[in-house]
Amino acid sequence: MGYYAVEDLRKSVRGPVLCPGEPGYDETRTIPNAMIDRRPAMIARCAGAADVIACVRFAREHNLLTSIRGGGHSVAGKSVCDDGLMIDLSAMKGIRVDPARRTARAQTGLTLGEFDRETQAFGLATTLGTVSKTGISGLTLGAGWGHLHGKYGLALDNLLSLDVVTADGRLLTASVSENEDLFWGLRGSGGNLGVVTSLEYRLHEVGPVLGGAVCYPTDKAKDLMHFFRDWADRIPDELVIQCASLSLPDAGRLFAIAACYHGELSQGEKVLRPLRNFGNPVVDLFAPISYVQMQSMFDPFFPPGRLTYVKSNFVHSLSDEAIDTFAAFVGKSPSPYSFAPGLEHWHGAATRVGVADTAFPHRRHSYNFMVWSNWESPSDSEENIQWTRDCWSAMKPFLISSTYGNYASDEGEAIAREAYGCNYDRLAALKNKYDPTNFFRMNHNIKPEMNREKRADLGAVQAETL
């Protein structure tokens, strides 16, 4: 990219444009997963929607590969591209909470922790994820499973409207009454349909929660998994549970069941009693805590700069055999920093939404299985990746091909089919309408359906990227 072109972009945006070698460039292209080391030709640190519009128009004019960075937490590293233009939204942190209407309009550079802090000032919150440094935008556009999903649905189920810059450089609003098809598609298709510049959420009253975890020796994993499966079928919407093999600094390898109860705390004590009375936990961390504390409980396990590789699919049956297989891998990951293997329980309001009501189709599965491996040195990559694949392969007979796209490492085209499932074809038609040249393709990519004439019109360079 020539000097004059870069200067043109600089003149048309309010935020800084960073090129290789310039101060801030390396810091901005670096994302938490150290497996990803890409070098964009330029990074635009957008200050608002007008900058995003200018970037999209510039990238189109110069035929540049474009990536969009929200919070940078995609394990597949889709927020950073090589050579092209990285549209960095992480400086766009405006938020306005309307306590009377119980809504929040938030710009898409906010992290979960920043968003929760502002809404909790009014005793309000909505479903987001479980690690506070994650970006609200990538998480919400992909789904957003978190501590309130049983009662209030996934993050995307709480969206009222979105502002989005589409591939032709227009800013559109999508809601139930405006651009309804786009509203449907944006709720579940990641960054496939445009750059979302702000999100409007429905909020709920959320006071202190009863949150924490019980941890057991790893050889108790099998018994615990049986308990977990039977208990999970009976828990109320107010409770969200998950379990994983992990390590604590002073206690070594453990098997943990974590939970968050949102509701009347005395009732929460009763609901959690069967778990806390089961077996002899070596650690019981349950206590009434603020929602903001709950939302950062897992942060110490995920510092930036570790290498991460994830395999994950929904479970079709958590049979006794599946539990045996799962338990055989507990405490065995090569790295003590891994959260693997693990299971998230999906239930309640999130699973009462129809598979085609939003673009996110995974509404009927009770468990999401994850092998979330983290390690510190590149020299350990081969061993950790192989172990992740071995663990996942052993569990494969009990899994379905459906994948939660937000947890997917970069496994090529098959992942997009698995992530969008029965909604893929409808999304491909939308892609055709809003992004026929596949301008937005640094994501789990939905290919536009394209006829021959249109392909010829585009010319060789753009068409070969489809």
Ligand X SMILES: Cc1cc2nc3c(=O)[nH]c(=O)nc-3n(C[C@H](O)[C@H](O)[C@H](O)COP(=O)(O)OP(=O)(O)OC[C@H]3O[C@@H](n4cnc5c(N)ncnc54)[C@H](O)[C@@H]3O)c2cc1C
Applying CB under 6 A, which residues contact ligand X? 32, 67-75, 78-79, 89, 108, 129-131, 134-135, 137-139, 141-146, 190-191, 195-196, 302, 406-407, 442-443
Is 248 in contact with 287 (CB distance < 8 Å)?
no
- Shortest Å, Cβ 456 to ligand X: 29
The residues facing 375 across adjacent strands are: 307
Q: Which long-range contacts (CB under 8 A, 24 or more apart) does 419-422 make?
A: 419/444, 420/188, 420/189, 420/359, 420/361, 420/444, 420/446, 421/355, 421/361, 421/362, 422/355, 422/356, 422/361
Cis peptide before 341 (omega within 30 of 0): yes
Based on CB atoms, which residue is closest to ligand X, 279 or 336? 336
Is 171 in contact with 197 (CB distance < 8 Å)?
yes
Based on CB atoms, which residue is closest to ligand X, 114 or 357? 114
Structure tokens at 426: 């409808």
Based on CB atoms, which residue is closest to ligand X, 246 or 327? 246
Distance CA 417, CA 407 (A): 14
Is 450 in contact with 421 (CB distance < 8 Å)?
no
Q: What is the 3-state secondary structure (H, E, C) of 285-353?
A: CCEEECHHHHHCCCHHHCCCCCEEEEEEEEECCCCHHHHHHHHHHCCCCCCCCCEEEEEEECCHHHHCC
Based on CB atoms, which residue is closest to ligand X, 217 or 366? 366
Based on CB atoms, which residue is closest to ligand X, 268 or 342? 342
Question: Which is nearest to 14 in space by CA: 81, 79, 92, 68?
Answer: 92
For residue 124, the SS3 value is strand
- Shortest Å, Cβ 344 to ligand X: 8
- Shortest Å, Cβ 144 to ligand X: 5
Residue number with the smallest Cβ distance to ligand X: 138
Based on CB atoms, which residue is closest to ligand X, 16 or 135? 135
Distance CA 71, CA 4 (A): 30
- Shortest Å, Cβ 295 to ligand X: 9
Is 74 in contact with 68 (CB distance < 8 Å)?
no
- Shortest Å, Cβ 457 to ligand X: 26
Distance CA 195, CA 107 (A): 11
- Shortest Å, Cβ 177 to ligand X: 21
Based on CB atoms, which residue is closest to ligand X, 84 or 217? 84
Based on CB atoms, which residue is closest to ligand X, 26 or 320? 26
CA distances from 421 to 126, 199, 329, 414, 424 (A): 26, 25, 29, 11, 6
Based on CB atoms, which residue is closest to ligand X, 29 or 73? 73
Based on CB atoms, which residue is closest to ligand X, 128 or 203? 128
Structure tokens at 326: 């799962």
- Shortest Å, Cβ 192 to ligand X: 8
**Which bin fits 97, alpha (ψ -120 to 50), beta or left (φ > 0)?**
beta
- Length of the chain equals 466
Is 175 in contact with 237 (CB distance < 8 Å)?
no
- Shortest Å, Cβ 141 to ligand X: 6
- Shortest Å, Cβ 462 to ligand X: 19
Based on CB atoms, which residue is closest to ligand X, 148 or 327? 148
- Shortest Å, Cβ 9 to ligand X: 19
Burial class (CB in 10 A: 0-12, 13-18, 19+), 388: buried
Distance CA 101, CA 103 (A): 6
CA distances from 3 to 20, 41, 42, 166 (A): 12, 11, 11, 27
- Shortest Å, Cβ 412 to ligand X: 15
Based on CB atoms, which residue is closest to ligand X, 128 or 214? 128
Where helices occur in 64-143 by DSSP H, the ranges are: 112-120, 136-142
- Shortest Å, Cβ 360 to ligand X: 10
